Chains A and B, each alone.
Chain A
Amino acid sequence: SAVISQKPSRDICQRGTSLTIQCQVDSQVTMMFWYRQQPGQSLTLIATANQGSEATYESGFVIDKFPISRPNLTFSTLTVSNMSPEDSSIYLCSVEPNTKRNEQFFGPGTRLTVL
């Protein structure tokens, strides 16, 4: 399985500010994803981070609010923009390893609290 790290592991932010979350994988992967897990809820896919092109967003998520970068096959960032308390959540990146297609492995998550 892939080893995935995320930074920061947690943050407390003021409303109206933005936070960029980084996701680093120890091997090159084609597919990277960003999820949100709100308190007591399951995971909701935000977008697929595509290397070299714009991310593919799910219904209810837009690029202006959650801009994503994917400069290479081992790294991606998710920015939560103009935050409000409703954005308080755990944000997780995941990858589908090229050698284990159709399975996903998750980073440890970033716990965000917006005041």
Chain B
Amino acid sequence: RKEVEQDPGPFNVPEGATVAFNCTYSNSASQSFFWYRQDCRKEPKLLMSVYSSGNEDGRFTAQLNRASQYISLLIRDSKLSDSATYLCVVNQGNFNKFYFGSGTKLNVKP
């Protein structure tokens, strides 16, 4: 079983739509959670950390459910520039190892 699992998509949405991505992780001892964004042929870049209380950054909202071992990312009012692959990342903490999901591809259409 993979450490981190994501729906690969693609999610094809019109501009202005709200879209949500989900991610599950297998190790209940995981301590830190992140969403990274990766544009085509570019390196991953940190989008936001995910806190137990949930957190919001502009149009982006991240949620963590430890009981279900589940992380989500909600994007409101999608822009063309949001088109990218979104990577769910989990840090198990003990050995500072980061596990990356395979990514969810988002295409925002005009």
Contact = CB atoms under 8 A, between A and B. Distances in A.
Interface stretch (B37-45, B55-63, B72-80): B37-45
Interface of A: 1, 31, 33, 41-45, 48, 92, 96, 102-109, 111
Interface of B: 32, 34, 41-46, 49, 87, 91, 96-98, 100-103
Given A42-B87, A42-B103, A106 B98 contact: no
Contacts of B91: 102
Nearest to B88: A42
Contacts of B100: 42-44
Contacts of A92: 43-44
A3 B56 CA distance: 26
A104 B43 contact: no
A16 B91 CA distance: 35
A104 B98 contact: yes
Contacts of A109: 42-43
